[in-house]
Amino acid sequence: GQNIDQPTEMTATEGAIVQINCTYQTSGFNGLFWYQQHAGEAPTFLSYNVLDGLEEKGRFSSFLSRSKGYSYLLLKELQMKDSASYLCAVTDSNYQLIWGAGTKLIIKP
């Protein structure tokens, strides 16, 4: 079966750095997405990786290793507004998105 694993919950301190991991086992791979979802709101797009390596976008970076079936989202200089759930999703060989359950990130002052 297809599976995406991410930690259920993480806690970090304002101003610090946090890494949210995502491992996947899917039938084929056509890209990996990270979305941010604040409580009670819709998910919003953060990043897309299709090739191995690091993609940097401001305070957020996303890394992909296709051979390891692994990605991480790195958040730097954490702010209170970064408290949210972070969803990892993989596009499989049929171009269907498979979603992880999400990681709830709690930022403490």
Partner 1 sequence: IAGITQAPTSQILAAGRRMTLRCTQDMRHNAMYWYRQDLGLGLRLIHYSNTAGTTGKGEVPDGYSVSRANTDDFPLTLASAVPSQTSVYFCASSAQGGNGELFFGEGSRLTVL
Give the residues lining the site for partner 1 (CB under 8 A).
4, 30-31, 33, 35, 41-45, 48, 50, 87, 89, 91, 94-102
Q: CA gyration radius for the chain?
A: 13
Distance CA 25, CA 85 (A): 21
Min. distance of Cβ 43 from partner 1 in angstroms?
5
Distance CA 10, CA 106 (A): 6
Min. distance of Cβ 4 from partner 1 in angstroms?
7
Pick 33 or 63: Cβ nearer partner 1: 33
Check residue 80 and report its DSSP letter: G
Pick 54 or 101: Cβ nearer partner 1: 101
Pick 70 or 99: Cβ nearer partner 1: 99
